[in-house]
Structure 1
Amino acid sequence: MIHGAKVALRPLTCDDIEKISSWDSDKEIEALAGWDSKGHLAHQKWYDTMVAGRNSKIFGIWTEDGEMIGDIGLSGISWRGGEAELVVRIGEKEYWNQGYGRDAVSALVKYAFSKLKLRRVYLRVYQDNVRAVRCYESCGFVKEGVVSRRFDEGPKKIYLMTITREGGKRGRSASRKAS
């Protein structure tokens, strides 16, 4: 288990799939997260792949009161390259804007650098998800680039943000350009 100041990160179990499914069926959460909803069987397959895989570490985000409020993980871990992609979601909306996401991200980044010995963690976030961008910046991530993708509802800009073991030094000049 990984501990932050407000949260504990614990590996997901099969028992957590139902709660994750409920977050995936929420259109507001889906729009912010940028992934499509999955059915229960798809969740089971996703869980089996992620837990069994050596190249991912997925955790539930738990409060001190014992409630799972989100999920967070490192996917696509490149052991040779020393990097991974961070994904995070606070699925329980009453916990938004209270520092739980920031605490979970900080705890997982610390784990990635100190325990997994990764050198770089990156993430992708919609430019218009201002709350998430601020969270990541407060954790030390910097904007390294921006891409545009076309969706049914129109084009969206996506930031690539990174943090390095040395404290996010890489990408600072790109940060100014990406804004």
Structure 2
Amino acid sequence: MNLLGPRLTLKPFAEDMISQRYLDWLSDPDVNFYSRRLGQRKQSREDAIEWLARIADGTTVLAIFAPEFGHIGNIKFGPIDSVNQSSDIAIMIGERKSWNRGYGAEAISLVTRHLFDTGSVSRVEAGSANPAFIKLVHGLGWKIDRIEPKRVLIGDQLLDWTYLSLEKIDAPSAEKTDCIPYD
């Protein structure tokens, strides 16, 4: 499954995409500041291949490609909760040169629209302590479900963990999400 947007192409993430550049993202403290990878040992190609092999059934990882940068990150969704018709979404934009260009918003919009249009889910969800992610999805119409104060240790600080979601009935139309502004 490939998803095409105005500026991005999302393709299934595969072993041949595990480049040194990708491995560098996994060890970059700025890329991983709000990630569970922060402070972990440097990731090897074998570690990444093992991670990819362990991806749960029903979970999809897509590589995000931008024309001027190539592979800039990954977005993951699933496994789909068929009973509650929901799916979790997570994203990593590793290519620093591509930051603050709206690529994360476009990738999340593409995956959300795909999930809603295929009838797979009626709700998408995410949890994060990253203020930029929270601002990004809030700008896409996501609502804050709850905040757990001082829930996660990031560096030497306990930060709030925010749960957010978007219901299909509240989602912006495709026309509104084709070109996502980012401030």
How far residue 11 of structure 1 moved from its aligned partner, in angstroms, is: 0.3
Instruction: Provide the residue aligned with 1:72 in structure 2.
Output: 75
Unaligned runs of 5+ in 2: 172-183
Give me the TM-score of the superposition, normalised by structure 2. 0.81
Instruction: Count matched residues.
Output: 164
For the 8 Å contact 2:143–2:166, the answer to whether it is kept is yes
Instruction: Provide the residue aligned with 2:143 in structure 1.
Output: 142
Q: Alignment identity in percent?
A: 18
The one-character-per-residue Cα deviations of 1:97-147 (angstroms, maximum 9, x if unpaired) are: 111111111001001111252111111111xx3322221112121111111
Instruction: Provide the residue aligned with 2:23 in structure 1.
Output: 21
**157-166 or 130-139, which moves further after superposition?**
130-139
From 30, 33, 49, the equivalent of 2:32 is 30
For the 8 Å contact 1:75–1:87, the answer to whether it is kept is no
How far residue 157 of structure 1 moved from its aligned partner, in angstroms, is: 0.6
| Pairwise CA RMSD | 1.9
Q: 1:82, 1:20 → 2: CA distance?
A: 32
* More contact order relative to length (CA 8 Å, sep ≥ 6): 2
From 162, 165, 168, the equivalent of 2:165 is 162
Alignment of 1:21-170 (within 5 A): 21-36=23-38, 37=40, 38-50=43-55, 53-65=56-68, 67-126=70-129, 129-147=130-148, 148-151=150-153, 153-167=156-170
Q: Which amino acid aligns with 2:138?
A: E
Shift in CA distance, 158/65, structure 1 to aligned 2, threshold 3 Å: same
Structure holding more helix per residue: 1
Give me the TM-score of the superposition, normalised by structure 1. 0.83
Q: 1:130, 1:110 → 2: CA distance?
A: 23
How far residue 40 of structure 1 moved from its aligned partner, in angstroms, is: 2.9
Q: Which amino acid aligns with 1:40?
A: R
For the 8 Å contact 2:152–2:161, the answer to whether it is kept is no
How far residue 24 of structure 1 moved from its aligned partner, in angstroms, is: 0.8
The one-character-per-residue Cα deviations of 1:45-70 (angstroms, maximum 9, x if unpaired) are: 211122xx432011000013470001
